[in-house]
Amino acid sequence: MPDALTLTALPLFPLGTVLYPGGLLPLRIFEVRYLDMIGKCHKTGAPFGVVALTEGSEVRRPAAAPSGDGFAHEAFNRVGTLATITEFSVPQPGLMAIRCVGSHRFEISSSEKLKYGLWVANVTRLDDDLAVPVPDDLQKTARALGKLLATLQQREVPAEQMPVLTPYRLDDCGWVANRWCELLPMPLELKQRLMALDNPLLRLELVSDILERNGISL
């Protein structure tokens, strides 16, 4: 088995959301610490890392009490997802609008905060989900997702506004579970735990339980 892929000094974007592999993420960038970073990532085609915040907010805020750099403390989960920019525009000076797609999960081994509050980290790429067919007892969960996406298409939702990228892989446990995790209004901590699971079948089983507990028709 080959050694795990490591990335050094990966720029991080701590957010109040969880990005899943294969998921979509639109962002509007206006903070100094991210404008240069996103511009460089777009120019070079390099990814950046999205990590879910556990402390602090997406926008830097002054510290309530004296601190080292004068800003509120930030902390984030160790497992995140690489994001690749697929659309990029500058609507006005000091503002970038981007659209990203999640690719591979990673785990942080060390992180450092640089000037202007930008975080970088040394990370190890985690194994991608194995392709696991949806078993018979979970087919209803996959069909319900298919019906939801078909309904949006019937309502003529523009392709660029659909919440899920094609091709639809409704026969794959990890893909179905990830898309439901993005669509369901779950607590951030739960979304993070599900994303970090290395068993796509277990993730789909848990998602199916959540759907049933919330009375969502399958």
CA distance 137 to 147: 17
Domains annotated on the chain, with CATH: 6-125 (2.30.130.40), 136-213 (1.10.4060.10)
pTM for this predicted structure: 0.91
Q: Are 11 and 119 in contact (CB under 8 A)?
A: yes
Residue 67: the pLDDT is 58
In terms of Cα–Cα distance, which of 113, 103, 93, 124 is closest to 41? 103
Q: What is the pLDDT of residues 128-141, one digit of tens each?
A: 999 999 999 999 99
What pLDDT score does 64 carry? 66
Q: Which residue ranges of the chain lie beneath pLDDT 50?
A: 1-3
The pLDDT value recorded for residue 19 is 98
Helix or strand holding residue 177 (H, E) = helix 173-183
Looking at residue 114, its pLDDT comes to: 92
Residue 84: closest CA among 96, 64, 98, 74:
98
Residue 123 has, within 13 A of its CA and on its CB side, a CA count of: 27
pLDDT for the residue numbered 63: 67
Instruction: Give the tens place of pLDDT for each residue, 192-209.
Output: 999 999 999 999 999 999
pLDDT given at position 205: 97
User: Which residues does residue 107 pair with via DSSP β-bridges, in sequence order?
Assistant: 79, 124
203 class by beta-carbon count within 10 Å (0-12 exposed, 13-18 middle, 19+ buried): buried
pLDDT tens digit string along 105-119?
999 999 999 978 899
Q: CA-to-CA distance for 44 and 46, rounded, in angstroms?
A: 5
Q: What is the pLDDT at residue 5?
A: 66
CB 30 within 8 A of CB 203: no
> What is residue 1's predicted lDDT score, i.e. its pLDDT?
33
pLDDT at site 216: 74
- 3-state DSSP assignment of residue 131: coil
